Structure 1
Amino acid sequence: MDRIYSLIGLAMRARKVVSGEELLEAIRKRKVSLVIVSEDASENTKKRYSDKCSFYGVDLIMIDSSMKLNQAIGKTNRMAVGICDEGLKKSIMKCWKG
């Protein structure tokens, strides 16, 4: 799982991460290919991102810790991020599936 956080950090440094209020708009415009939501997000937040991703055909994965997610991207109070790069998405999915 630590490899996933490293890849998210790499994506952030490459400016290929969308977070915060911009994320829902990026999903609608299909600018992100993967959405990563923290397990400790509220049920409402998880459902909102799950429904949006399902409707727009964007992959979604759940990870265990918002604290590690925030640390990886260097921001605070983020429960979800979107990855804009297809190559990074494939690497993250490969690590996530084990």
Structure 2
Amino acid sequence: MESKFFQFLGIVKKSGNLVEGYNKCEEHVVRNKVSLVILSGEASLNTQKKFTTKCKLNEIPLLKDYDSQRLSDVLGRESIKVLAVKDKNMANKLLELSKA
């Protein structure tokens, strides 16, 4: 089911509901403007701690340990480590697909 997760992640990007990159994601999380954060397994320990804490504080679900290369390939960018989903329905669908 992991491929369905990545397929849907591509749809989320095309819809304009995906925030990419550390700084933009951090800003959106602090403002509580996202419904889901996705971290790659290659994100630094400091980045993982920071987003784990901020997501917990703002009650935002967090998915961890996705392959950075796979995320980059799906999204057509290099070295993706942090993503955030703005739309609540799309975030819920990704959470559902991540458990399948």
**Structure-1-length-normalised TM-score:** 0.92
Q: Which amino acid aligns with 1:6?
A: Q
Stretches of structure 2 lacking an aligned partner (at least 5 in a row): none
Give 2:32's aligned residue: 30
1:7 has 2:8 as partner: yes
Partner of 1:43: 45
Write the letter of the residue equivalent to 2:16: R
Q: Deviation per CA, 1:12-51, whole angstroms, max 9, x where unpaired?
A: 0001000111110000111110000011222111111111
* Structure 1 residue runs without a partner (length 5+): none
One-letter amino acid of the structure 2 residue matched with residue 2 of structure 1: S
Report sequence identity in percent: 24
Segments of 4+ in structure 1 off by > 4 A?
Answer: none
Q: Number of paired residues?
A: 98
Name the residue aligned to 1:62: 64
TM-score normalised by structure 2 residue count: 0.90
Q: Give me the CA root mean square deviation.
A: 1.1
Q: What secondary structure, in the 3-state scheme, does the structure 2 residue paired with 1:61 have?
A: strand
Matches within 5 A, 1:67-82: 67-82=69-84
